[in-house]
Amino acid sequence: MTALTADLPAALAARRPRIVVVGDAILDVWLEGDAGRLCREAPAPVVSVHTRHAAAGGAANTAVNLAALGADTALVAAVGPDQPGAELRDLLDKSGVDTSGIVLAEQTVVKHRVIAADHLMVRYDEGEVHEHGEVTCRAIADRVLRAAVDADAVVLCDYGLGVCGPVLARAIAERRADIRLLVVDAHQPSRWAGTAPDLITPNAAEAADLLGGPLPADRVHAVTEHGDRLRAASGAKAVLVTLDRDGSVLVDDGPGHRTWADPAPEGQAAGAGDTFCAALTVAAAAGLPLPTAAEFAQTAADIVVHRPGTAVCTTDDLTSRLGGRTAAVGEPELRARVAEHRAAGRRIVFTNGCFDVLHRGHIAYLTQARRLGDVLVVAVNGDASVRRLKGPGRPVNPAADRAEVLSALSCVDHVTVFDEDTPTELIRALRPDTYVKGGDYTESMLDEAAVVRACGGEVRIVDYVPDQSTTAVIDRIASRTGP
């Protein structure tokens, strides 16, 4: 897995991937004011509006987010010859989005949200929602296919407003070989199964629709268990289900991957899914592994959900967020943080290891460990400790680098470095509720197991991912480079 470090957003932006977005473009309007009385005609609040803010919404928001992340972005959509359409075009132009692919529609779709005292009072929409005529649909399809020839990715945003219909679906299916990476963000993903998407990003309700019934309370487990069904129903190679406060779950032909969200209180934020899709596409188009792309997308979404309105995540935002993450923390600070978590009623999960070259097996076991509690603490063997355990040629990466890579994973809450061969003293200091090790261990092999139980905790051994080890990765690299 590629490290999610502070220099990654700028590196992706420097690649300037060419990405085409096609779909339902919307003008989002936010009206903010005060509501101190009820109207005389009905028991409804009167909102005295003092601020109006407009933003690109729907497929247009995805395009704006892509441009903000450094992508050379073109939008193919249908916009009306009206004032909202002119305002939307202006917003797109100022954001650096190529609007030459926009075709003329009867009317621009506008979503108005009225806010008072930080509460959404009402939303009212304008604009017809219907399938566009044959001429318009054919024009959209033709522009998408022309733009796709030299594009690194095509993002299809189908929110049921009429742009993405059967004409476009047939055209993409017929010319699928010309599209390097097809990402679908649709309210009904099954409509696009015939296009064989590389990646789809359904939310919980859309995933439930693919499965033919509501998701149970443990949504993460349900998505993981039914990954093959989700892929079959959508025709997609990979499915990344976004679960709002529960993060996201990737299911593909590998072991999958879970991200954890930094949730915000329910409010007036909108468009986090568009930001997620945009960041995911930029990372995937650059060839990053999908688990890394999912972590990158989750970080971007976490940024915008803490902002009001239809927000946009930029390269600078991500650089600041990733650079601001604390990697390894010392024992005194870690003890204080764990005490705060425990006082808040959170269960502490603890694990340790060298984590010299982070690989798929590590990610799978850390993800499983995080699900066993509320806070995951990872203790990393210091460099001298690794040399004693693994030999004079190790570690490949110093402890500071290993800690930084681990801290960038959304499943990891705290990282610390210890210099002993075992984390026994650290366990005594933190008294974790659960101590976790990978399936290549048994409890009888762990000297620290007795200490865990003496501190009132439990020992859990999680699944082992075969053929995944740091030694195997290093051997493969050595065999390919040669003398």
Cα dist from 54 to 84, 91, 128, 141, whole Å? 10, 9, 19, 28
Concerning whether 274 is annotated as a catalytic residue, the answer is: yes
Separation CA 386–CA 396 (nearest Å): 10
Cα 22 from Cα 164, distance rounded (Å): 8
Could you tell me if residue 256 is left (phi over 0), alpha (psi between -120 and 50 degrees) or otherwise beta? left
Query: Residue 47's closest CA among 123, 113, 116?
Result: 116
Q: Are 174 and 40 in contact (CB under 8 A)?
A: no
Nearest-angstrom CA–CA distance, 448 and 457: 11
Three-class SS of residue 54? strand
Q: What is the DSSP string of 157-172?
A: EE-SSSSS-HHHHHHH
Reduced to 3 states (helix: H, G, I; strand: E, B; else coil), residue 363 is helix
Sheet strands side by side (includes 414-418):
414-418, 375-381, 348-353, 434-437, 458-461
DSSP H or E run through 185: strand 182-186
One-character DSSP codes across 29-51: EEEEEEEEEE-SSSS-EEEEEEE
Query: Active site residue: 98, 252, 274, 302, which one?
Result: 274
Rounded to whole angstroms, how far apart are CA atoms 277 and 275?
A: 5
- Cβ neighbors of 90 (< 8 A, separation 6 or more) are none
- For every residue of 129-160, DSSP letters joined together read -SPPPHHHHHHHHHHHHHHHTT-SEEEEEE-S
Query: What is the Cα–Cα distance from 479 to 483, expressed in whole angstroms?
Result: 9
- Distance CA(239)–CA(224), nearest Å, equals 10
Q: Could you tell me how many helices (H) and strands (E) the chain has, helices first?
A: 18, 19
Give the three-class secondary structure for 258: strand
Catalytic residues: 274
